[in-house]
Amino acid sequence: MNQTKYDILVKGGTVVDGTGSPGHKADVAVKSGIIAAIQPGLPEDSASSVIDAGGKIVCPGFIDAHCHTDWAILDGPWDDHQERQGVTTQIGGLCGTSPVSIREHFEQANKQGLGTNYALFAGHGSIRHEVMGDENRKPTSEELDQMKALLKTAMDEGALGLSTGLIYRPGVFSDTEELIEMAKVIAPLGGIYATHMRSESDDIEKALDEAITVARTAGTPLQISHIKVIMPRNWGFAAKMLDRIRQEQGRGLKITADQYPYAVTGGGHYGAARLVEGYDRETGFDMFKEQYQDAQKRKEMAEYASALIAERGGPEYFSIIKASQDKLVGMYLHDALSKQAALNLGEFIVEEIHKSQGQFAMVYHSVSEEELAQFMQQPWVMGGTDGVPGAFHPRTHGTFPRILGRYVREKQVLSLEEAIRKITSLPADTLGLEERGRLTPGAIADIVVFDPDTVIDRSNMVQPTLYPDGIEHVLVNGVPVIENRERTGAFPGKVLLRK
Ligand SMILES: [Zn+2]
Protein backbone atom coordinates (compact mmCIF):
# COMPACT_ATOMS: atom_id res chain seq x y z
CA MET A 1 0.00 0.00 0.00
CA ASN A 2 1.32 3.37 -1.00
CA GLN A 3 0.65 5.59 2.00
CA THR A 4 1.47 9.26 1.54
CA LYS A 5 3.14 11.21 4.27
CA TYR A 6 0.76 14.21 4.14
CA ASP A 7 -2.92 14.79 3.42
CA ILE A 8 -2.55 18.11 1.62
CA LEU A 9 0.39 19.98 0.19
CA VAL A 10 0.01 23.69 -0.50
CA LYS A 11 2.73 24.13 -3.08
CA GLY A 12 4.69 26.99 -4.56
CA GLY A 13 3.20 29.93 -2.64
CA THR A 14 4.65 32.75 -0.58
CA VAL A 15 4.12 31.96 3.08
CA VAL A 16 3.16 34.93 5.26
CA ASP A 17 3.03 33.29 8.65
CA GLY A 18 0.85 35.74 10.61
CA THR A 19 3.58 37.00 12.96
CA GLY A 20 4.41 40.03 10.85
CA SER A 21 7.64 38.46 9.52
CA PRO A 22 8.37 38.92 5.81
CA GLY A 23 6.86 36.41 3.42
CA HIS A 24 9.06 33.64 2.02
CA LYS A 25 8.62 30.96 -0.62
CA ALA A 26 7.78 27.59 0.91
CA ASP A 27 5.40 24.66 0.69
CA VAL A 28 3.01 23.90 3.51
CA ALA A 29 2.14 20.29 4.35
CA VAL A 30 -0.96 19.35 6.32
CA LYS A 31 -1.54 16.05 8.11
CA SER A 32 -4.59 15.20 10.26
CA GLY A 33 -5.64 18.83 10.56
CA ILE A 34 -2.21 20.02 11.71
CA ILE A 35 0.55 21.84 9.88
CA ALA A 36 3.17 19.12 9.55
CA ALA A 37 5.93 20.94 7.66
CA ILE A 38 6.76 24.30 6.11
CA GLN A 39 9.76 24.22 3.79
CA PRO A 40 10.64 24.72 0.15
CA GLY A 41 10.68 21.82 -2.25
CA LEU A 42 8.41 19.29 -0.56
CA PRO A 43 7.76 16.62 -3.21
CA GLU A 44 4.32 16.53 -4.81
CA ASP A 45 3.95 12.80 -4.29
CA SER A 46 4.36 13.22 -0.53
CA ALA A 47 0.68 14.24 -0.25
CA SER A 48 -2.61 12.74 -1.37
CA SER A 49 -3.74 16.09 -2.71
CA VAL A 50 -1.86 19.17 -3.89
CA ILE A 51 -3.04 22.78 -3.96
CA ASP A 52 -1.16 24.88 -6.49
CA ALA A 53 -0.37 28.17 -4.74
CA GLY A 54 2.04 29.54 -7.37
CA GLY A 55 1.96 33.35 -7.34
CA LYS A 56 -0.34 33.33 -4.32
CA ILE A 57 -0.04 34.20 -0.63
CA VAL A 58 -0.42 31.35 1.86
CA CYS A 59 -1.31 32.57 5.34
CA PRO A 60 -3.26 31.65 8.46
CA GLY A 61 -7.06 31.73 8.18
CA PHE A 62 -8.57 35.08 9.08
CA ILE A 63 -10.19 35.54 12.47
CA ASP A 64 -13.30 37.68 12.46
CA ALA A 65 -12.94 39.16 15.93
CA HIS A 66 -16.43 40.67 15.89
CA CYS A 67 -19.56 39.43 14.18
CA HIS A 68 -23.20 38.79 14.94
CA THR A 69 -23.48 35.35 13.40
CA ASP A 70 -25.07 34.07 16.62
CA TRP A 71 -28.24 36.03 15.73
CA ALA A 72 -28.91 33.80 12.72
CA ILE A 73 -26.71 30.72 12.86
CA LEU A 74 -29.43 28.37 14.09
CA ASP A 75 -32.20 29.74 11.89
CA GLY A 76 -31.46 28.62 8.38
CA PRO A 77 -29.04 26.91 6.08
CA TRP A 78 -25.41 27.75 6.76
CA ASP A 79 -24.39 31.12 5.29
CA ASP A 80 -20.93 30.85 3.72
CA HIS A 81 -20.06 34.56 3.45
CA GLN A 82 -17.27 34.07 6.01
CA GLU A 83 -15.50 31.18 4.26
CA ARG A 84 -15.78 33.09 0.98
CA GLN A 85 -13.70 35.93 2.42
CA GLY A 86 -11.12 33.67 4.06
CA VAL A 87 -12.47 33.67 7.59
CA THR A 88 -11.80 30.39 9.42
CA THR A 89 -12.85 31.50 12.92
CA GLN A 90 -15.67 33.86 13.80
CA ILE A 91 -16.39 35.41 17.18
CA GLY A 92 -19.99 36.25 18.08
CA GLY A 93 -21.91 37.41 21.12
CA LEU A 94 -20.79 41.04 20.86
CA CYS A 95 -22.42 44.41 21.51
CA GLY A 96 -24.23 43.01 24.54
CA THR A 97 -26.25 40.39 22.69
CA SER A 98 -25.61 36.66 22.91
CA PRO A 99 -27.46 33.42 23.58
CA VAL A 100 -28.13 33.29 27.31
CA SER A 101 -27.29 29.59 27.39
CA ILE A 102 -23.98 29.35 25.58
CA ARG A 103 -23.86 25.59 26.17
CA GLU A 104 -27.23 24.93 24.47
CA HIS A 105 -26.38 27.26 21.60
CA PHE A 106 -23.07 25.49 21.00
CA GLU A 107 -24.73 22.07 21.17
CA GLN A 108 -27.23 23.06 18.49
CA ALA A 109 -24.59 24.72 16.35
CA ASN A 110 -22.46 21.58 16.53
CA LYS A 111 -25.44 19.43 15.60
CA GLN A 112 -26.16 21.63 12.60
CA GLY A 113 -22.51 21.72 11.47
CA LEU A 114 -20.09 24.63 11.35
CA GLY A 115 -18.28 25.82 8.25
CA THR A 116 -15.84 27.82 10.37
CA ASN A 117 -14.64 27.71 13.95
CA TYR A 118 -16.85 29.62 16.31
CA ALA A 119 -16.52 31.25 19.72
CA LEU A 120 -18.72 33.58 21.74
CA PHE A 121 -18.74 36.40 24.22
CA ALA A 122 -21.50 36.53 26.84
CA GLY A 123 -23.74 39.53 26.24
CA HIS A 124 -24.51 41.81 29.18
CA GLY A 125 -27.73 43.01 27.54
CA SER A 126 -29.05 39.50 27.01
CA ILE A 127 -28.26 38.54 30.61
CA ARG A 128 -29.84 41.74 31.97
CA HIS A 129 -32.91 41.16 29.83
CA GLU A 130 -33.23 37.60 31.15
CA VAL A 131 -33.20 38.81 34.77
CA MET A 132 -35.04 42.16 34.66
CA GLY A 133 -36.55 42.59 31.21
CA ASP A 134 -36.05 45.96 29.53
CA GLU A 135 -36.50 47.99 32.71
CA ASN A 136 -34.85 51.37 32.93
CA ARG A 137 -33.48 51.23 36.48
CA LYS A 138 -30.62 49.88 38.54
CA PRO A 139 -30.82 46.17 39.35
CA THR A 140 -31.57 45.29 42.96
CA SER A 141 -28.72 43.52 44.67
CA GLU A 142 -30.60 40.27 44.24
CA GLU A 143 -31.01 40.88 40.50
CA LEU A 144 -27.37 41.82 40.16
CA ASP A 145 -26.43 38.55 41.88
CA GLN A 146 -28.58 36.64 39.39
CA MET A 147 -26.95 38.44 36.48
CA LYS A 148 -23.51 37.66 37.84
CA ALA A 149 -24.45 34.01 38.30
CA LEU A 150 -25.65 33.75 34.68
CA LEU A 151 -22.43 35.38 33.50
CA LYS A 152 -20.34 32.99 35.61
CA THR A 153 -22.19 30.04 34.04
CA ALA A 154 -21.58 31.40 30.54
CA MET A 155 -17.89 31.78 31.34
CA ASP A 156 -17.76 28.23 32.71
CA GLU A 157 -19.39 27.10 29.46
CA GLY A 158 -16.59 28.65 27.45
CA ALA A 159 -17.42 32.33 26.79
CA LEU A 160 -14.37 34.48 26.00
CA GLY A 161 -15.55 37.38 28.12
CA LEU A 162 -18.30 39.93 28.62
CA SER A 163 -19.66 42.18 25.88
CA THR A 164 -21.76 45.31 26.33
CA GLY A 165 -23.88 47.34 23.93
CA LEU A 166 -24.42 50.63 25.72
CA ILE A 167 -26.53 52.35 23.08
CA TYR A 168 -29.03 49.49 22.92
CA ARG A 169 -31.80 48.40 25.25
CA PRO A 170 -31.33 47.22 27.91
CA GLY A 171 -27.56 47.93 28.06
CA VAL A 172 -28.26 51.66 27.80
CA PHE A 173 -30.05 51.51 31.19
CA SER A 174 -26.99 50.24 33.07
CA ASP A 175 -24.60 52.52 34.93
CA THR A 176 -20.83 52.24 35.22
CA GLU A 177 -21.06 50.62 38.63
CA GLU A 178 -23.18 47.76 37.29
CA LEU A 179 -20.70 47.20 34.45
CA ILE A 180 -17.80 47.09 36.90
CA GLU A 181 -19.62 44.53 39.06
CA MET A 182 -20.24 42.35 36.01
CA ALA A 183 -16.68 42.71 34.70
CA LYS A 184 -15.38 41.61 38.11
CA VAL A 185 -16.94 38.18 37.42
CA ILE A 186 -14.81 37.63 34.31
CA ALA A 187 -11.56 39.17 35.60
CA PRO A 188 -10.32 36.21 37.68
CA LEU A 189 -11.22 33.86 34.80
CA GLY A 190 -9.07 35.72 32.27
CA GLY A 191 -12.10 37.10 30.42
CA ILE A 192 -12.03 40.16 28.18
CA TYR A 193 -14.34 43.16 28.49
CA ALA A 194 -15.53 44.04 24.95
CA THR A 195 -17.66 47.13 24.66
CA HIS A 196 -19.77 48.91 22.10
CA MET A 197 -19.28 52.18 23.94
CA ARG A 198 -22.04 54.48 25.15
CA SER A 199 -21.19 56.95 22.40
CA GLU A 200 -19.12 56.89 19.21
CA SER A 201 -20.15 60.44 18.42
CA ASP A 202 -20.54 63.66 20.44
CA ASP A 203 -19.94 61.99 23.82
CA ILE A 204 -17.18 59.65 22.77
CA GLU A 205 -14.65 61.15 25.18
CA LYS A 206 -16.84 60.31 28.19
CA ALA A 207 -17.67 56.91 26.70
CA LEU A 208 -14.00 56.00 26.31
CA ASP A 209 -13.42 57.14 29.85
CA GLU A 210 -16.14 54.81 31.10
CA ALA A 211 -14.76 51.84 29.14
CA ILE A 212 -11.31 52.42 30.63
CA THR A 213 -12.74 52.84 34.14
CA VAL A 214 -14.64 49.53 33.91
CA ALA A 215 -11.64 47.56 32.67
CA ARG A 216 -9.19 49.20 35.07
CA THR A 217 -11.39 48.85 38.14
CA ALA A 218 -12.44 45.27 37.42
CA GLY A 219 -8.99 44.22 36.24
CA THR A 220 -9.80 43.01 32.72
CA PRO A 221 -8.30 43.67 29.31
CA LEU A 222 -10.39 46.08 27.23
CA GLN A 223 -11.50 45.44 23.66
CA ILE A 224 -13.14 48.46 22.02
CA SER A 225 -15.72 47.21 19.53
CA HIS A 226 -15.74 48.61 15.96
CA ILE A 227 -13.53 51.58 16.87
CA LYS A 228 -14.46 54.79 15.01
CA VAL A 229 -15.60 58.39 15.39
CA ILE A 230 -19.00 59.16 13.88
CA MET A 231 -20.27 62.41 12.31
CA PRO A 232 -18.16 64.98 10.44
CA ARG A 233 -18.45 67.48 13.30
CA ASN A 234 -16.51 65.06 15.53
CA TRP A 235 -13.79 64.28 13.02
CA GLY A 236 -10.42 65.08 14.48
CA PHE A 237 -11.17 63.30 17.71
CA ALA A 238 -9.41 60.07 16.65
CA ALA A 239 -6.00 61.57 17.45
CA LYS A 240 -7.13 62.54 20.97
CA MET A 241 -8.62 59.10 21.47
CA LEU A 242 -5.39 57.46 20.39
CA ASP A 243 -3.38 59.64 22.79
CA ARG A 244 -5.63 58.60 25.66
CA ILE A 245 -5.46 54.92 24.75
CA ARG A 246 -1.67 54.95 24.40
CA GLN A 247 -1.38 56.68 27.75
CA GLU A 248 -3.50 53.97 29.42
CA GLN A 249 -1.58 51.23 27.63
CA GLY A 250 1.61 52.83 28.94
CA ARG A 251 0.18 52.55 32.44
CA GLY A 252 -0.34 48.81 31.97
CA LEU A 253 -3.94 48.49 30.79
CA LYS A 254 -4.27 46.05 27.92
CA ILE A 255 -6.39 47.77 25.26
CA THR A 256 -7.19 46.35 21.85
CA ALA A 257 -9.93 47.10 19.32
CA ASP A 258 -11.65 45.69 16.29
CA GLN A 259 -12.59 47.63 13.19
CA TYR A 260 -14.51 47.23 9.96
CA PRO A 261 -13.00 49.09 7.00
CA TYR A 262 -15.95 51.23 5.86
CA ALA A 263 -16.89 54.89 6.18
CA VAL A 264 -20.57 53.97 6.42
CA THR A 265 -21.64 52.47 9.75
CA GLY A 266 -24.27 49.85 10.54
CA GLY A 267 -26.64 52.64 11.57
CA GLY A 268 -25.97 54.56 8.36
CA HIS A 269 -29.01 53.50 6.35
CA TYR A 270 -31.43 56.35 5.61
CA GLY A 271 -34.68 55.22 4.04
CA ALA A 272 -38.09 56.86 4.06
CA ALA A 273 -38.69 55.71 7.63
CA ARG A 274 -35.85 57.93 8.76
CA LEU A 275 -36.31 60.83 6.37
CA VAL A 276 -40.00 61.40 7.03
CA GLU A 277 -41.26 62.03 10.53
CA GLY A 278 -43.88 59.47 11.58
CA TYR A 279 -43.16 57.14 8.67
CA ASP A 280 -42.90 53.66 10.08
CA ARG A 281 -44.07 50.12 9.44
CA GLU A 282 -47.64 50.94 10.42
CA THR A 283 -48.17 54.36 8.85
CA GLY A 284 -45.78 53.70 5.96
CA PHE A 285 -46.22 54.91 2.44
CA ASP A 286 -49.98 55.42 2.78
CA MET A 287 -49.43 58.14 5.37
CA PHE A 288 -46.76 59.67 3.18
CA LYS A 289 -49.03 59.75 0.11
CA GLU A 290 -51.74 61.47 2.09
CA GLN A 291 -49.39 64.14 3.41
CA TYR A 292 -47.87 64.55 -0.02
CA GLN A 293 -51.23 65.71 -1.43
CA ASP A 294 -51.32 68.58 1.07
CA ALA A 295 -48.95 71.37 -0.02
CA GLN A 296 -48.35 72.58 3.53
CA LYS A 297 -47.57 69.09 4.84
CA ARG A 298 -45.36 68.40 1.83
CA LYS A 299 -43.42 71.53 2.66
CA GLU A 300 -43.05 70.45 6.30
CA MET A 301 -41.78 67.00 5.25
CA ALA A 302 -39.20 68.64 3.00
CA GLU A 303 -38.05 70.93 5.80
CA TYR A 304 -37.73 68.00 8.18
CA ALA A 305 -35.59 65.96 5.76
CA SER A 306 -33.47 68.96 4.91
CA ALA A 307 -32.79 69.80 8.57
CA LEU A 308 -31.90 66.19 9.30
CA ILE A 309 -29.31 66.08 6.51
CA ALA A 310 -27.89 69.47 7.53
CA GLU A 311 -27.55 68.37 11.14
CA ARG A 312 -25.47 65.40 9.95
CA GLY A 313 -23.02 67.50 7.98
CA GLY A 314 -24.80 68.08 4.67
CA PRO A 315 -25.65 66.30 1.40
CA GLU A 316 -22.01 65.64 0.50
CA TYR A 317 -21.94 62.88 3.14
CA PHE A 318 -24.89 60.95 1.73
CA SER A 319 -24.96 58.64 -1.27
CA ILE A 320 -28.03 57.17 -2.92
CA ILE A 321 -28.50 53.38 -2.91
CA LYS A 322 -32.13 53.16 -4.09
CA ALA A 323 -34.00 55.68 -6.22
CA SER A 324 -36.76 56.18 -8.75
CA GLN A 325 -34.24 56.07 -11.61
CA ASP A 326 -31.13 53.92 -12.00
CA LYS A 327 -28.96 56.87 -12.96
CA LEU A 328 -29.31 58.33 -9.46
CA VAL A 329 -28.09 55.13 -7.77
CA GLY A 330 -24.52 55.46 -6.51
CA MET A 331 -24.55 59.27 -6.74
CA TYR A 332 -23.83 61.52 -3.80
CA LEU A 333 -26.84 63.53 -2.75
CA HIS A 334 -25.28 66.91 -3.60
CA ASP A 335 -24.40 65.72 -7.13
CA ALA A 336 -27.89 64.34 -7.66
CA LEU A 337 -29.33 67.60 -6.39
CA SER A 338 -27.22 69.74 -8.73
CA LYS A 339 -28.98 67.98 -11.65
CA GLN A 340 -32.41 68.98 -10.30
CA ALA A 341 -32.13 72.74 -10.33
CA ALA A 342 -35.81 73.32 -9.66
CA LEU A 343 -35.80 71.50 -6.33
CA ASN A 344 -34.15 72.23 -3.02
CA LEU A 345 -32.67 69.43 -0.90
CA GLY A 346 -35.79 68.60 1.10
CA GLU A 347 -38.06 68.79 -1.93
CA PHE A 348 -35.78 66.49 -3.87
CA ILE A 349 -35.94 63.87 -1.11
CA VAL A 350 -39.72 64.10 -0.80
CA GLU A 351 -40.14 63.86 -4.59
CA GLU A 352 -37.84 60.83 -4.72
CA ILE A 353 -39.71 59.07 -1.93
CA HIS A 354 -42.92 59.72 -3.82
CA LYS A 355 -41.65 58.61 -7.24
CA SER A 356 -39.96 55.49 -5.85
CA GLN A 357 -43.07 54.43 -3.88
CA GLY A 358 -41.17 54.78 -0.61
CA GLN A 359 -38.13 52.82 -1.78
CA PHE A 360 -35.70 55.75 -1.95
CA ALA A 361 -32.72 55.17 0.37
CA MET A 362 -29.30 56.62 1.08
CA VAL A 363 -26.27 55.76 3.18
CA TYR A 364 -24.46 58.19 5.44
CA HIS A 365 -20.68 58.34 5.12
CA SER A 366 -20.23 59.42 8.71
CA VAL A 367 -16.69 58.14 9.29
CA SER A 368 -13.59 59.89 7.96
CA GLU A 369 -11.51 57.54 5.82
CA GLU A 370 -8.40 59.33 7.06
CA GLU A 371 -9.30 58.48 10.66
CA LEU A 372 -10.29 54.98 9.61
CA ALA A 373 -6.75 54.52 8.25
CA GLN A 374 -5.29 56.08 11.40
CA PHE A 375 -7.06 53.51 13.58
CA MET A 376 -6.17 50.72 11.16
CA GLN A 377 -2.47 51.50 11.50
CA GLN A 378 -2.46 50.95 15.26
CA PRO A 379 -0.71 47.65 15.99
CA TRP A 380 -3.46 46.68 18.47
CA VAL A 381 -6.41 47.13 16.07
CA MET A 382 -7.67 43.93 14.46
CA GLY A 383 -10.26 43.23 11.76
CA GLY A 384 -13.86 42.43 12.53
CA THR A 385 -16.83 42.44 10.17
CA ASP A 386 -19.45 43.44 12.75
CA GLY A 387 -21.38 41.39 10.22
CA VAL A 388 -25.11 41.02 10.59
CA PRO A 389 -26.47 38.39 8.19
CA GLY A 390 -29.22 39.91 6.06
CA ALA A 391 -28.38 43.55 6.84
CA PHE A 392 -27.85 46.26 4.21
CA HIS A 393 -24.13 46.69 4.92
CA PRO A 394 -21.45 45.18 2.61
CA ARG A 395 -19.02 44.62 5.52
CA THR A 396 -20.59 41.22 6.23
CA HIS A 397 -19.30 39.92 2.88
CA GLY A 398 -16.31 42.12 2.19
CA THR A 399 -14.31 43.17 5.24
CA PHE A 400 -11.18 41.03 4.92
CA PRO A 401 -10.65 41.19 1.13
CA ARG A 402 -11.22 44.96 1.43
CA ILE A 403 -8.45 45.30 4.04
CA LEU A 404 -6.07 43.36 1.75
CA GLY A 405 -7.17 44.93 -1.54
CA ARG A 406 -8.13 48.52 -0.78
CA TYR A 407 -5.98 49.26 2.28
CA VAL A 408 -2.88 47.14 1.55
CA ARG A 409 -2.56 47.03 -2.25
CA GLU A 410 -4.31 50.23 -3.35
CA LYS A 411 -3.83 52.72 -0.52
CA GLN A 412 -0.78 51.17 1.16
CA VAL A 413 -2.05 51.98 4.61
CA LEU A 414 -0.49 48.73 5.88
CA SER A 415 2.14 46.30 4.64
CA LEU A 416 0.78 42.92 3.61
CA GLU A 417 2.57 41.18 6.48
CA GLU A 418 1.25 43.63 9.07
CA ALA A 419 -2.30 43.44 7.73
CA ILE A 420 -2.20 39.65 7.91
CA ARG A 421 -0.80 39.77 11.45
CA LYS A 422 -3.71 42.00 12.48
CA ILE A 423 -6.31 39.53 11.19
CA THR A 424 -4.59 36.32 12.38
CA SER A 425 -2.13 36.16 15.30
CA LEU A 426 -3.27 39.43 16.92
CA PRO A 427 -6.86 38.26 17.45
CA ALA A 428 -5.72 34.69 18.22
CA ASP A 429 -3.40 35.91 20.98
CA THR A 430 -5.82 38.54 22.31
CA LEU A 431 -8.73 36.12 22.48
CA GLY A 432 -6.69 33.14 23.68
CA LEU A 433 -7.29 30.95 20.61
CA GLU A 434 -4.42 28.53 21.09
CA GLU A 435 -2.59 26.96 18.14
CA ARG A 436 -4.35 29.31 15.72
CA GLY A 437 -3.43 32.50 13.92
CA ARG A 438 0.06 31.39 12.85
CA LEU A 439 1.51 29.16 10.17
CA THR A 440 4.07 27.09 12.00
CA PRO A 441 4.64 23.35 12.29
CA GLY A 442 2.34 21.93 14.98
CA ALA A 443 -0.30 24.69 14.60
CA ILE A 444 -3.86 23.87 13.55
CA ALA A 445 -4.25 24.03 9.78
CA ASP A 446 -6.57 27.01 9.32
CA ILE A 447 -5.15 28.30 6.03
CA VAL A 448 -6.03 30.80 3.31
CA VAL A 449 -4.53 30.94 -0.17
CA PHE A 450 -5.27 34.25 -1.88
CA ASP A 451 -4.09 36.26 -4.87
CA PRO A 452 -2.47 39.50 -3.66
CA ASP A 453 -2.93 41.11 -7.09
CA THR A 454 -6.67 40.57 -7.33
CA VAL A 455 -8.01 40.21 -3.79
CA ILE A 456 -10.78 42.77 -3.25
CA ASP A 457 -14.29 43.08 -1.88
CA ARG A 458 -17.08 43.22 -4.48
CA SER A 459 -19.95 43.79 -2.07
CA ASN A 460 -20.98 47.43 -1.95
CA MET A 461 -23.73 49.64 -0.58
CA VAL A 462 -25.97 48.91 -3.58
CA GLN A 463 -25.21 45.18 -3.83
CA PRO A 464 -24.10 44.19 -0.33
CA THR A 465 -24.00 40.40 -0.73
CA LEU A 466 -21.55 39.92 -3.61
CA TYR A 467 -18.70 37.55 -2.78
CA PRO A 468 -15.16 38.93 -2.97
CA ASP A 469 -12.48 38.22 -5.56
CA GLY A 470 -9.10 36.60 -5.04
CA ILE A 471 -9.79 34.20 -2.18
CA GLU A 472 -8.75 30.93 -3.84
CA HIS A 473 -8.54 28.21 -1.18
CA VAL A 474 -9.59 28.08 2.46
CA LEU A 475 -8.86 25.24 4.88
CA VAL A 476 -10.55 24.95 8.27
CA ASN A 477 -8.92 22.47 10.66
CA GLY A 478 -7.09 21.03 7.67
CA VAL A 479 -10.23 20.48 5.56
CA PRO A 480 -10.89 22.53 2.40
CA VAL A 481 -14.07 24.62 2.65
CA ILE A 482 -13.21 26.73 -0.42
CA GLU A 483 -11.47 25.12 -3.38
CA ASN A 484 -10.68 27.19 -6.46
CA ARG A 485 -13.04 29.94 -5.18
CA GLU A 486 -15.96 27.54 -4.73
CA ARG A 487 -17.54 26.24 -1.54
CA THR A 488 -16.86 22.53 -1.04
CA GLY A 489 -19.82 21.98 1.28
CA ALA A 490 -17.62 20.66 4.10
CA PHE A 491 -18.41 21.54 7.73
CA PRO A 492 -15.14 21.04 9.61
CA GLY A 493 -15.59 23.98 12.00
CA LYS A 494 -15.36 23.57 15.76
CA VAL A 495 -16.70 25.39 18.74
CA LEU A 496 -13.79 27.07 20.51
CA LEU A 497 -14.02 27.45 24.26
CA ARG A 498 -12.05 29.80 26.50
CA LYS A 499 -9.02 27.95 27.81
ZN1 LIG B 1 -21.82 47.19 18.15
Which of the 8 DSSP states describes residue 343? Answer: -
Instruction: Give the residue among 383, 381, 435 at the shortest CA–CA distance from 405.
Output: 383
Kindly report the number of other CB atoms within 10 A of residue 12's CB atom: 18
Distance 64 CA to ligand 1 centre (A): 14
Please write the tens of the pLDDT for every residue from 440-483: 999 999 999 999 999 999 999 999 999 999 999 999 999 999 99
Distance 278 CA to ligand 1 centre (A): 26
Mean pLDDT of the chain: 96
Confidence band of 1 (pLDDT split at 50, 70, 90): very low
Distance 54 CA to ligand 1 centre (A): 39
CB 479 within 8 Å of CB 473: no
What is residue 313's predicted lDDT score, i.e. its pLDDT? 96
Distance 391 CA to ligand 1 centre (A): 14
Is 251 buried (19+), middle (13-18) or exposed (0-12) by CB count in 10 A? exposed
Segment 186-207 mean pLDDT: 97
Distance 164 CA to ligand 1 centre (A): 8
Segment 204-209 mean pLDDT: 97
Instruction: Give the residue among 236, 167, 180, 243 at the shortest CA–CA distance from 207.
Output: 167
Distance 120 CA to ligand 1 centre (A): 14
Distance 425 CA to ligand 1 centre (A): 23
Distance 227 CA to ligand 1 centre (A): 9
In the chain the domains, ranked by start, together with CATH numbers, are 62-265+370-434 (3.20.20.140), 268-365 (no CATH)
What is residue 4's predicted lDDT score, i.e. its pLDDT? 83
Predicted TM-score (pTM) above 0.85: yes
Please write the tens of the pLDDT for every residue from 413-434: 999 999 999 999 999 999 999 9
Confidence band of 2 (pLDDT split at 50, 70, 90): low
Distance 226 CA to ligand 1 centre (A): 7
CB 66 within 8 Å of CB 23: no
Distance 26 CA to ligand 1 centre (A): 39
What is residue 11's predicted lDDT score, i.e. its pLDDT? 98
Please write the tens of the pLDDT for every residue from 168-177: 999 999 999 9
Please enumerate in sequence order all residues whose Cβ is within 8 A of that of 136, keeping only pairs 6 or more positions apart, or say none: 170, 173
Segment 53-62 mean pLDDT: 98
Please write the tens of the pLDDT for every residue from 118-141: 999 999 999 999 999 999 999 999
Distance 12 CA to ligand 1 centre (A): 40
Distance CA 47, CA 249 (A): 46
β-pair partners for 362: 270, 320
What is residue 64's predicted lDDT score, i.e. its pLDDT? 98
What is residue 390's predicted lDDT score, i.e. its pLDDT? 83
pLDDT at 304 over 80: yes
Distance CA 259, CA 236 (A): 18
Kindly report the number of other CB atoms within 10 A of residue 43's CB atom: 13
Distance 225 CA to ligand 1 centre (A): 6
Is 439 buried (19+), middle (13-18) or exposed (0-12) by CB count in 10 A? buried
Is 290 buried (19+), middle (13-18) or exposed (0-12) by CB count in 10 A? exposed
What is the C-alpha R_g of the chain?
24
Determine if the peptide bond prior to 170 is cis (ω within 30°).
yes
Percent of the chain with pLDDT over 70: 99
Distance 376 CA to ligand 1 centre (A): 18
Q: Pairing state of beta strands 361-364 and 318-322? A: antiparallel
Distance 95 CA to ligand 1 centre (A): 4
